[in-house]
Structure 1
Amino acid sequence: MDAILLISLVIAVMAVLLIIKGLKIVQQSEAVVIERLGSYHKTLSPGINWIIPFVDLPRSIKMRRYQLINNQQVAAIVEETRIDRRETVLDFPSQSVITGDNVSVTINGALYFQVIDPERAVYQAENLVQAIEILAKTSLRSEVGRMELDKLFESRQEINDRLQIVMDEAGNKWGVKVTRVEIQDIDIPRDVEDAMRKQMTAERERRALVLQASGEREAAIARAQGEKESAVLVAEGDKTASILRAEGEREAINQIVAAGDGQIDHQLVIGYLLGLEYLNTLPNIAKNGDRVFLPFESSSVLGAVGSLQQLLNQAPGK
């Protein structure tokens, strides 16, 4: 009986140990790929799982982790049986890239990815991180090689979007979702940087000159337009004044003729008008300061005055 009890106790202990050994607690956002006798069996989901000890074994995956060595963060490739399904950042180092106009630039960036299918991540790539990093570098060289240096700086977001599309298409095979790609720094040679700085300075000076010339042209147009409008207004004023003066003179003559019952000599009226026009013209002959010599015929002016006198004498009551 003691032997049977001992055997039962040993079996119970072994069963408990097997159960404990077979229990696998998977944390949230983690996954474990299980192989049974060397082939894929299943993927453990978060929570409590049970596997057959020594028959079911977790398959490891290579990941890059940063370790603190001598107070410095050092990247190292480690093998883990638990696959982190959270978003992971991959900082690929600086590399030399040739642009479309044969300028060598140094670019470094960061790539964010997430393991969506743990089975593919384990079996489709021997070293998942290395595969993603090399693909990112080659894709970056390809995209930058299509662009000239001037367009490279202003098209950074365009490069990021293209890289994400390329990386995401390739990552589907590996069970990886590339969420975004960011170019961090773009370093160019010193001589090229100096040339670009001079070019930008010249461009700013050219724009300043163009703006200045445009402002002067608009000012000249505005000034000419103002002078034109002023001249039109003066001419219209002179025209209106002449019309009013002529109408006034005509009305005055009509009144004189009407007062004289049509007995006024029309030759005297014409002489009066000519003399009046002559007297109105004299002050404007040299108004601009020029010296003008004219033959002065006092008899013409006196004749005009005499005509005026005769007109007044012919009026009724004279």
Structure 2
Amino acid sequence: MELLIFAAILIVFVAFILIQGILIVRQSETMVIERWGRYHRTLSPGINLIIPFMDQARPIMMLSYRGSQPFISNEKRIDLREAVLDFPQQPVVTADNVSIGVNGVLYFQIIDPKRAVYETENLVLSVQTLAQTTLRSVLGKMELDEMLSNREKINAELQGIMDEAGDKWGVKVNRVEVKDIDIPSEIQSSMNQQMSAERDRRAAIARAEGEKRSEILKAEGDRDAAIARAQGEQQAAILAAEGQKQAAILHAEGEARAIENITSSLGANAKPQDAVRFLISMNYIETLPNIAKNGERVFLPIESAALVGSVGGIKELLNPSVVAAGTQQN
């Protein structure tokens, strides 16, 4: 009977030892195991065997928030997934002495559980404190306008600093973002006025550019029109001159043929000057009626009487056919 009791106790003890020695680690989790208080190994996901009482899981201190209240807990299972840390708002004085409130969000992931356990007492608190001090340091070197317009630059600089510092703790900082910037009301009012003035300035510049472009186009149109008019007038003058030239040539050719005809009709003793005087006299006689129309009295120069008198002498030398030919040519 005593032997059965002892056997039962031994079986229960062995079962208890086996149960205590089997650890199931879920995916994306791990555990740091110490043997007799010293680091032994890091468990991988799945079934793991340990020696009870000799091997113990080393807990990690984690800071979390329940609402707005911080809560510190000791966790034996280390979560390897990306975690989000939304640290509260803190005051920052910019390079141009503007007091603002800034809060941000940080995304980090534990990549070395051993260093995360042994290199810092409270991993999340250390990361949060480093993020806050780094944020104040980076933003304190910038002016407010630069801070508001260069958030991507700020995020990249914060991530670089945090990733380098977190490497010692076995933490990978994936990204850091400035979430909210609380600006004092008087500064916000001044910024609104500045933005309004800037919009008015841009609108004035746009109007001026439009008017300038309109004037340029108008001037170019006037210039092209003036060039076109000048070219048209030049072409018209050229054509008119060409017409006058052709008319003068034809008139001169007609006069030359008339002189030749009259000279040939007078015979071998005729002179070309007599034919020219005859044609001038005939033109003068034809013009007299038009001169008389311009007034009641007509004054003729002395030379005209002699010219008319010479016409009779020339006519006697010419036969009627020659006179008719000279008249038709004129």
TM-score range (shorter-chain normalised) is 0.7 to 0.9
Residues of 2 paired with 1:148 and 1:228: CA distance?
Answer: 52
**Which of 196, 219, 228 pairs up with 1:224?**
219
Question: By how many angstroms is 1:36 displaced?
Answer: 1.1
Residues of 2 paired with 1:172 and 1:156: CA distance?
Answer: 24
Are the equivalent residues in 2 in contact too, given 1:43–1:119 (CA < 8 A)? yes
Residues of 2 paired with 1:97 and 1:120: CA distance?
Answer: 32
Residues of 2 paired with 1:128 and 1:116: CA distance?
Answer: 13
Corresponding residue of 2:306: none
Alpha-carbon distance change, 40 to 228 in structure 1, aligned in 2, over 3 angstroms: same
| Deviation sequence 1:39-76 (CA, Å, 0-9, x none) | 11111111111211112111111112344xxxx56431
The runs of 5 or more residues in structure 2 that have no matched partner are 260-275, 281-293, 296-324
Residues of 2 paired with 1:5 and 1:100: CA distance?
Answer: 83
**SS of equivalent to 1:260:** helix
Are the equivalent residues in 2 in contact too, given 1:260–1:316 (CA < 8 A)? no
Are the equivalent residues in 1 in contact too, given 2:255–2:329 (CA < 8 A)? no
Corresponding residue of 2:61: 62
Are the equivalent residues in 2 in contact too, given 1:111–1:181 (CA < 8 A)? yes
TM-score by length of 2: 0.77
1:1-318 paired onto structure 2 within 5 Å: 2-67=1-66, 74-261=69-256, 263=259, 316-318=328-330
Which portions of structure 1, spanning 4 or more consecutive aligned residues, are displaced by more than 3 angstroms? Answer: 2-6, 72-75, 262-265, 313-318
Residues of 1 paired with 2:101 and 2:79: CA distance?
Answer: 31
**SS of equivalent to 1:89:** strand
Alpha-carbon distance change, 183 to 239 in structure 1, aligned in 2, over 3 angstroms: same
Alpha-carbon distance change, 252 to 31 in structure 1, aligned in 2, over 3 angstroms: same
Residues of 2 paired with 1:127 and 1:98: CA distance?
Answer: 28
Equivalent residue letter for 1:178? V
Are the equivalent residues in 2 in contact too, given 1:260–1:314 (CA < 8 A)? no
**SS of equivalent to 2:31:** strand
Are the equivalent residues in 2 in contact too, given 1:34–1:58 (CA < 8 A)? yes
CA-atom RMSD, angstroms? Answer: 2.2
Equivalent residue letter for 1:30? E
Residues of 1 paired with 2:197 and 2:55: CA distance?
Answer: 71
Are the equivalent residues in 2 in contact too, given 1:256–1:315 (CA < 8 A)? no
**SS of equivalent to 1:113:** strand
Residues of 2 paired with 1:49 and 1:238: CA distance?
Answer: 106
| Deviation sequence 1:154-182 (CA, Å, 0-9, x none) | 11111111111111111111011111111
Are the equivalent residues in 2 in contact too, given 1:259–1:315 (CA < 8 A)? no
Residues of 1 paired with 2:126 and 2:328: CA distance?
Answer: 125
Corresponding residue of 1:305: none
Question: By how many angstroms is 1:108 displaced?
Answer: 0.6
**SS of equivalent to 1:111:** strand
The runs of 5 or more residues in structure 1 that have no matched partner are 269-297, 300-312
Residues of 1 paired with 2:327 and 2:140: CA distance?
Answer: 106
Are the equivalent residues in 2 in contact too, given 1:160–1:182 (CA < 8 A)? yes
Residues of 2 paired with 1:224 and 1:164: CA distance?
Answer: 57
Identity across matched positions, percent: 48
Residues of 2 paired with 1:110 and 1:139: CA distance?
Answer: 13
